[in-house]
Copies of this chain bind each other. A is one copy, B any other.
Amino acid sequence: MKYPNSNKVYVKPKESASNRGMSLEDDINRTNRYYLNHGIAVIHKKPTPITIVHVDYPKRSAAKITEAYFKVPSTTDYNGIYLGRYIDFEAKECESKTSFPFSSIHSHQIKHLSDVMKQGAIAFIILRMVSHNKDFLIRANDFIEFYETADRRSLPYSWIEENGFVITGRYPKPCDYLAIAKEVFDLQENYDE
């Protein structure tokens, strides 16, 4: 069988996080669309919270926001439902090779994870360690325990490797976090109503 440009050297794509798609957000949104379209789960990213100060209403065209500011989010970016369970998570990309700094995550968001856990949520953080080409699922309770007791202000990579669960994925589910979440949290296919 012939391919166009078959004299070109074929380079096998690396199975690395950086090749899965674009940003972690893009990969999660694409995966969420797959989950939605296949009736697997309904999970959406929340819109970016902003404070609107001024809106113009031109005749015969759409309202235009001309002054607005970003707000500190009071919740995580993602939530939804999977196998009858409330799912809640924050997603972060980390450029550092050695650790994930706590300054990358708002204290409101950590309180939110703790609040939803008390109500019975499946809560976690998706952490893309860019230099290691790896995506991890970290249970919110593990994260919060370390966050509250450690005498340092970051998660060391050794801790992430030990406590995190590697998320695999390839097109059309470039970040298939529910596959691993189902195992980690022992979620059942037939939940009780």
Contacts and interface: CB of A to CB of B under 8 A. Distances in A.
A8 B82 CA distance: 56
A49 interface: yes
Interface in A65-94: 65-71, 74-75, 79-86, 88
B115 A36 contact: yes
Contact of A85 (B36, B42, B79, B86): B86
Contact of A84 (B68, B88, B119): B119
A44 interface: yes
A74 B42 CA distance: 12
**Number of copies of this chain that the complex holds:** 2
Interface residues of A, number: 42
A42 B81 contact: no
Contacts of A82: 119
Interface of A: 36, 39, 41-42, 44, 46-50, 52, 62-71, 74-75, 79-86, 88, 112, 115-116, 118-121, 191-193
Given A46-B46, A47-B49, A47-B50, 15 more contacts: A41-B119, A42-B112, A42-B119, A62-B69, A62-B70, A63-B69, A64-B67, A65-B65, A65-B68, A79-B79, A80-B116, A81-B120, A83-B120, A84-B86, A86-B86
